[in-house]
Structure 1
Amino acid sequence: MKSLKGIHHVSALTANAQDNLHFYTEILGMRLVKKTVNQDDTSVYHLFYADERGNPGTDLTFFEIPHAAKNREGTQSISQTALRVSSDETLNYWLERFVEYNVDNSGIQERYGRKVIDFKDFEDQRLQLISDETNSGVEGGIPWEKSPVPQEKGIIGLGPVRLSVPRPEKTHKVLTDVLGFQQHTTYQLNGDEVTVFSTGKGGTGAEVHVHATKDMPRERPGRGSVHHVAFRVESEEELLKWVTHIQSLGYMNSGFVERYYFRSLYFREPNGILFELATDGPGFEGDEPFEKLGENLALPPYFEDQREEIEAKLKPLETK
């Protein structure tokens, strides 16, 4: 099998799709490239925010679960999602913007040799802006020119994803022996060790940081938590090879799953983190033209005969 190419997308939970839409499009300036439904529960939204056309490696997605309880942070979790920006200087722009919009943040810090800002959204989703100043790995995307954030300051994709786990050696083994990641150096975070892994071309768009937690209760997911992280597979042909590989190792898994915008495989590693392998294509323009991405409710063809019923259950979203 070919190496995984990097981070494909991260999917998180929100209790309020309208407020979520406001934060990620109006404050963070990402483009809503697909407004659809959770294919496992069509009564709720699945929103995709990304670069100008939802290129693989740029998608941060949210399942809406109305009335979801607040996330109780802890171990056995995807505990931070990074978003890439072009340079160290760009972080100064974001500090000013976060002050303007009262976004809770850490200020500019240095972590693993890069400038970062840790911050949270309105539901305490744990996020980070990371500078690509020194990045030489996976290329970023192109921010949407109609964003309220100037294009040269915009978010260009997903950065490293941090996993917090009580038995780090088990996650390390899955990343290296099963998924083919390479292990790099470590750094300290609040007195704990974090080990860095990368795949494909490496760099900010292809890293997983495994945080070895101590004496921490298990996370109780709710609004503000992350559901899963997906890694990039080049093609459907390659994905089928991965399905065979994962099944041969005895992992409980979903098998091949048709998501229309991409094809997927899901499985859990021993610390309970849900991993997805997802193909780079077909992408988001099969049912909407580039200029209209995200403007209307998009449904895969196998749900079209249920459109009237599905739309009746959804609260309309107000978009600018």
Structure 2
Amino acid sequence: MTSGDDLSSTRGLHHVTAVAADPQRNLDFYTRVLGLRLVKKTVNQDDPFTYHLYYGDELGRPGTAMTFFPFPGVPAGKPGRGQPIETQFSVPLNTLVEWEARLRDAGVAFSGGPSSGQSDRLQFTDPDGLPLALVAEAPEPAEAAEPASALAIRGFAGLTLASHRPDSTARVLTELLGYTPVDSNAGVVGRFKSQGSARADHIELIESSAMGQPGYGTVHHIAFRVPNRSALLEMLDQVQAARLPCSGEVDRFYFRSVYFREPGGMLFEIATDAPGFTVDEPAESLGQSLKLTAEHEPMRARIEAALPVLEG
């Protein structure tokens, strides 16, 4: 495994995919409470009678996309060792007081934040118990202008991971995915910074005594971004050379990707930036209608009959 130019390492986080219990509750929380935009309403390509919901900035750009498989009836999961734990969103500096008020008004319990003397981080969970945090950060020098809303989430600040084999996970992050070690915070085994994107994100490896269990309220997988298919195929060669169990190239329509299981037990994905979510609907109407791939379009009537209607 080697890192280097654009074709041999990733550019930070692409998306994070988690499991939810109720799609309407999930939609209400991420759009109305966190203020993200539903940018794609589609189905799980491996289980087309289940929604796959994508949230993000106005276009769902890589590095902003939080996605969910809502499985009604699935048991509750338990975040713990062998899983990604906390998903962290970047918000502008000096906005956590307003975010505290927003969460309080929505009935969301939180810890940290200015009310507790912690000015840089606010921690809470979504309605399914998925650990989340808002991290107050200055914009990166190369980042685009601040969003129109003063409170708007910019994208991912990073993730915490609880690995079965943290040393091996650290090698994957640095030698394969192109992350750089940086100074760790208290209680963190290792901390790593992404390279090559406007907004750098951080991956923190932490200790966890609890074993993770899959289910709603847990992360299914995390994806790292590459610019195009050529870079993806270069990364696929590296994944295979490292003898990591992988899927080969997969066409997810909105991006191409490679899935692999890292030694610490977590499912990682590498995904292309292109073509993006405007490939099958215009930017102004993203997320308003159910979009299906050509493979699933002949099944539309059956799929729509099986899926609950979403409002808002």
TM-score, normalised with respect to structure 1: 0.90
* Aligned-pair CA distance for 1:279: 0.3
| Aligned partner of 2:121 among 98, 116, 120 | 116
| Aligned partner of 1:81 among 68, 76, 87 | 87
| One-letter code aligned to 1:206 | D
Quote the Cα distance in structure 1 between the aligned partners of 2:197 and 2:132: 20
In 2 relative to 1, CA 19–142 (structure 1 residues): closer, same or farther, beyond 3 Å?
farther
* Aligned-pair CA distance for 1:238: 0.7
Cα deviation per residue 1:197-233 (whole Å; 9 max; x = unaligned)? 12214786432111133xx232111111001110010
In 2 relative to 1, CA 141–207 (structure 1 residues): closer, same or farther, beyond 3 Å?
farther
1:94 correspondence with 2:89: no
* Aligned-pair CA distance for 1:105: 0.7
Quote the Cα distance in structure 1 between the aligned partners of 2:75 and 2:8: 40
Quote the Cα distance in structure 2 between the aligned partners of 1:5 and 1:180: 8
Cα deviation per residue 1:5-37 (whole Å; 9 max; x = unaligned)? 111000000010000000011111110000000
Quote the Cα distance in structure 2 between the aligned partners of 1:231 and 1:138: 19
Partner of 1:161: 159
* Aligned-pair CA distance for 1:63: 0.3
Give the aligned length: 304
| One-letter code aligned to 2:247 | S
Percent of aligned pairs sharing the same letter: 40
1:127 correspondence with 2:132: yes
What are the residue-to-residue correspondences of 1:119-268 with 2, within 5 Å? 119-133=124-138, 135-136=139-140, 139=143, 151-189=149-187, 193-201=188-196, 205-213=200-208, 216-268=209-261
| One-letter code aligned to 2:207 | A
Q: Please tell me whether the aligned partners of residues 8 and 232 of structure 1 are also in contact (alpha carbons under 8 angstroms).
A: yes
1:270 correspondence with 2:276: no
Quote the Cα distance in structure 1 between the aligned partners of 2:179 and 2:257: 19
* Aligned-pair CA distance for 1:303: 1.8
1:21 correspondence with 2:14: no
Partner of 1:4: 10
Quote the Cα distance in structure 1 between the aligned partners of 2:245 and 2:235: 13
Quote the Cα distance in structure 2 between the aligned partners of 1:211 and 1:204: 22
Instruction: Give SS of 2:41's match.
Output: strand
Moved over 6 A (4+): none
Instruction: Give SS of 2:230's match.
Output: helix
Partner of 2:3: none
Gaps of at least 5 residues in structure 1 are 146-150
Quote the Cα distance in structure 2 between the aligned partners of 1:155 and 1:222: 26
Q: Please tell me whether the aligned partners of residues 183 and 197 of structure 1 are also in contact (alpha carbons under 8 angstroms).
A: yes
Quote the Cα distance in structure 1 between the aligned partners of 2:159 and 2:142: 14
| One-letter code aligned to 2:140 | S
Of the structure 1 ranges 155-164 and 171-180, higher mean CA displacement relative to structure 2 is found in: 171-180
Q: Please tell me whether the aligned partners of residues 5 and 206 of structure 1 are also in contact (alpha carbons under 8 angstroms).
A: no
Partner of 1:148: none
1:39 correspondence with 2:45: yes
Of the structure 1 ranges 204-213 and 252-261, higher mean CA displacement relative to structure 2 is found in: 204-213
Q: Please tell me whether the aligned partners of residues 160 and 206 of structure 1 are also in contact (alpha carbons under 8 angstroms).
A: yes
Quote the Cα distance in structure 1 between the aligned partners of 2:61 and 2:88: 16
In 2 relative to 1, CA 140–59 (structure 1 residues): closer, same or farther, beyond 3 Å?
farther
